[in-house]
Structure 1
Amino acid sequence: MARLGAGHRPGPGGPAIRSRTSIPTAAEASAWAEVLVRRRLLHAAVLAPTGQWLVQSAPEAPVRVLDGPAAMVALAAQIQHHTRTKRNRTR
């Protein structure tokens, strides 16, 4: 079980979510992209030379363009939230 930092108390639904205090890096965005593709939560995620991310949710889905690391990390958070919410509804 993960430990909570000082000042963070679990809420009724589990551990408290800490807010970000730093801007996501390219390395962090790459790590999240790799995890999302490996776990088949995204079909593809490719870093473009411009620093933008090209993502595709399914083979036949349109390609979305994300504006950098912060957008990729935000997408990862959105997918994670959706996955957890869906899992809790089926319990």
Structure 2
Amino acid sequence: MIPRPPRSSEPTAAEASAWADVLVRRWLLHAAVLTPNGQWLVQDHPDGPVRVLTGPADVLALAATLQHHTRTMRPEIR
């Protein structure tokens, strides 16, 4: 795999919101809510614990982790 170049800017709240929406719609998260102070509350399952993410960078890191996990767990299709 070719490594990606580093980002030239910090992730924005809009970018984090878009990723959070995708994660919830694809059922990779049960809920993701932006709080007024810029933190995110995320929950994997309806009865699971609520985690606090400190900002947009943490949401994108979570999205990358979930994406990597789903790609490495499914069987190869060739």
Normalised to the residue count of structure 2, the TM-score between the two structures is 0.89
Specify which structure has the bigger relative contact order, considering alpha-carbon pairs within 8 angstroms and separated by 6 or more residues.
2
Structure of higher CA gyration radius: 1
**Identity %, equivalent residues:** 69
Could you say which residue in structure 1 is the equivalent of 2:66?
79
Q: 1:17 to 1:38 in 2, by over 3 A?
A: farther
RMSD: 1.1
Unaligned runs of 5+ in 2: none
How many Å separate the matches in 2 of 1:37 and 1:17? 27
Is 1:31 paired with 2:35? no
Unaligned runs of 5+ in 1: 1-10
How many Å separate the matches in 2 of 1:72 and 1:29? 6
1:1-91 → structure 2 map (5 Å cutoff): 11=1, 16-19=2-5, 20-87=7-74, 90-91=75-76
Normalised to the residue count of structure 1, the TM-score between the two structures is 0.77
Aligned residue type for 2:40: W
How many Å separate the matches in 2 of 1:17 and 1:45? 28
* Shift of residue 17, structure 1, vs aligned partner: 4.1
How many Å separate the matches in 2 of 1:80 and 1:50? 27
The alignment of Structure 1 onto Structure 2 pairs a total of residues equal to 75
